[in-house]
Structure 1
């Protein structure tokens, strides 16, 4: 029977898989693992805050795009889009499971210089080869489709109306948790305070909880979001992931646009899109350091001095707008290359990463959960090869190249 209440202590002293962190990525791994007919082990998910109030999951803007420059990132999002559109089918046809809203107004990347315009053109060719619907647009084409933009400084754009836009990721998250629990996954409200290896240091043997229990582990998954480096540090592993603030603003327009606003990536770094009857904008701060794990304080000057002027410049109708809500969330920011770190550690083989998504976590969570479940069950990836995101590149200081990072 499903219950939303979490126990504080595990029921057993040994688990085949322990997942540290029960938000979007941790629950994706748990669900894909529990539904895999070839996996018959026990799964424990440890979540320190079952309200998820301060997780990246709770502060996400929940968007999907095919517009990446690396083929593997495109394919990851294509699977994510397929998963969203066929969610009930993936959930076994469960009639309780709702259809997921997916508003496909696309991403609009605006280029204000020849170098970036060429980058967009090259990316469009790669995306098209992968089956994405991205179009490289001239200024006249942009103006014809979206006459509300001010385009005096723009020379080209990329836009895709197929499988790109906003989706209701929180409903997916809720059903992953619910279904995982119904299939025997145990969630506990607790915190890992230490991880112990064997005498040779190549295998995790136990984890110790804040409540004092020492639990034997077959395999351990680090799914602790912006806190991933703290978890890795318990094993003496240095992970280049840190929390960085990202700001989100919901606003109303006195003169609403006559059509959906694509998720527009302005050359300034501010992005904006439709949000139901309202609009959403977001950005990083101009100075973007790592912050404390519990620092969600907003800098309200960012709206007044940066975001609003940029919105009004790009879309003159946004000169008269009213801020309705705002918040600061944390990216789990990979300082090496702003891409995921996924798969087993090179030496501690039963310690696996699903970290460092740098803002891509929601849209990539279906493919990543499936991939980690495959690695745990079979010792290899069987659908998408996620090895380019492996830990070896961290050790070798070899960044994964992805040009389309927001």
Structure 2
């Protein structure tokens, strides 16, 4: 990819952050909604070596606790299935994003977990999600290697849930956006130049500035710091998650391999080719430095392996192959995304704070933010529940199903 030698002097819309959500905003603006103006996406690291998009487990599920999250997931599944057509460029089909709809299996043991699973299932069913509740005997019949004596209930998404090619998705969005005229700039946004309560320009680490009519903030874990440039307190920062890839000495038979399974302990595991991918929320989850990507090796021996070995004899003899750490853009207020403009800065539109589910919701958020920037309103899915009003009025829209 050839980068421009210098930033443009101005752009109608500047997107801060070129990860999957920033790329989706640009793609919908230029490719799908036909915005005739200029769009510039600023990305500090085009290798995406430490981007949340690249380091994600790349799952998509409908099993959330809030209707807006479920709706975003359902649209995301539609986009993944349609990728070859949707992201075609100059007659060349878009990529097959290898969306494996093998489902999510959420397991409950304690009475409180069972109650939460049933309550969330009611919300999911009302929102059109295809999720079924399973008793312990039904779970054992489908996945006989799982131990179910302690289980009270399971929830399985048979369609619209699974995992996919995360970087393929980002590439498809960026390529389609570029083909429609969006400009991707390798630089780092370091400040907003404010005038009359609006973002007048975005200042760059290279020393330049881009005057703009509007800005979209999709800077992932860096979004809290970036919001402060406009005098806005945004409770979003980096939380670290370590992922582990392992193989089994005696893996489950192919026909009984589990989907993406979330154990009552919080440990998750899914097939990854001949291997398995696993991780867990850490018992202590402080905000970390933006450059802290050191894996927490002890989580495998102390949390992940014991839980998996207790759940299945297939996971008793396993061997760690590799591991890495990435960041969630954690919204400490309610673990839900913050989408839309802030009333104090009307031309700064937010798309951040998804606390681990930004990749799977990127398509719907990109579309919604693009609609807002063009029309001042959402034209398809109503994302107003994720707006700033709830933060300013202290009305959390808590997303309980964070993995």
Q: TM-score, normalised by structure 2?
A: 0.96
**2:113 is aligned with 1:116:** yes
**2:392 is aligned with 1:395:** yes
Task: Tell me, yes or no, if the aligned pair for 1:14 and 1:217 is still in contact at 8 Å.
Answer: yes
Q: Secondary structure at the match of 1:349?
A: strand
Residue of 300, 305, 311 corresponding to 1:314:
311
Pairing 1:279-318 to 2, within 5 Å after superposition: 279-318=276-315
Give unpaired runs (5+ residues) of structure 2: none
**2:21 is aligned with 1:25:** yes
**2:248 is aligned with 1:247:** no
Q: Which shifted more, 31-40 or 215-224? A: 31-40
Q: Secondary structure at the match of 1:399?
A: coil
**2:235 is aligned with 1:228:** no
Aligned to 1:64: 60
Q: Alpha-carbon deviations, 1:293-337, whole Å to 9, x = none?
A: 000112211111221111111111111111111011100000001
**2:238 is aligned with 1:269:** no
Q: Which shifted more, 314-323 or 394-403? A: 394-403
Shift of 1:92: 4.9
**2:36 is aligned with 1:45:** no
Aligned to 1:100: 97
Q: Which shifted more, 368-377 or 209-218? A: 209-218
Structure-2 separation of matches of 1:105 and 1:178:
28
Pairing 1:169-180 to 2, within 5 Å after superposition: 169-180=166-177
Aligned to 2:183: 186
Shift of 1:401: 2.9
Q: Alpha-carbon deviations, 1:122-168, whole Å to 9, x = none?
A: 22222223222211111111111111111121111111111111111
Q: Secondary structure at the match of 2:212?
A: strand
Shift of 1:37: 4.3
Task: Tell me, yes or no, if the aligned pair for 2:88 and 2:94 is still in contact at 8 Å.
Answer: no
Q: Alpha-carbon deviations, 1:100-141, whole Å to 9, x = none?
A: 211122111111112221221222222223222211111111
Shift of 1:215: 1.7
**2:380 is aligned with 1:383:** yes
Aligned to 2:344: 347
> What RMSD in Å do the two structures reach over aligned CA positions?
1.4
Q: TM-score, normalised by structure 1?
A: 0.96
Aligned to 2:128: 131
Shift of 1:20: 0.7
Structure-1 separation of matches of 2:86 and 2:121:
30
Aligned to 2:72: 76
Structure-2 separation of matches of 1:224 and 1:350:
16
Structure-2 separation of matches of 1:5 and 1:272:
39
Task: Tell me, yes or no, if the aligned pair for 1:105 and 1:260 is still in contact at 8 Å.
Answer: no
Q: Secondary structure at the match of 1:157?
A: strand
Aligned to 2:214: 219
Structure-1 separation of matches of 2:33 and 2:25:
14
Residue of 79, 86, 90 corresponding to 1:90:
86
Task: Tell me, yes or no, if the aligned pair for 1:19 and 1:26 is still in contact at 8 Å.
Answer: yes
Q: Which shifted more, 395-404 or 286-295? A: 395-404
Shift of 1:403: 2.7
Structure-1 separation of matches of 2:169 and 2:112:
38
Residue of 356, 361, 380 corresponding to 2:358:
361
Aligned to 2:157: 160
Q: Secondary structure at the match of 2:230?
A: coil
Task: Tell me, yes or no, if the aligned pair for 2:65 and 2:123 is still in contact at 8 Å.
Answer: yes
Give unpaired runs (5+ residues) of structure 1: none
Aligned to 2:321: 324
Shift of 1:96: 3.4
Structure 1 residue ranges, 4+ long, deviating more than 6 angstroms after superposition? none
Q: Alpha-carbon deviations, 1:381-400, whole Å to 9, x = none?
A: 01000001011222222211
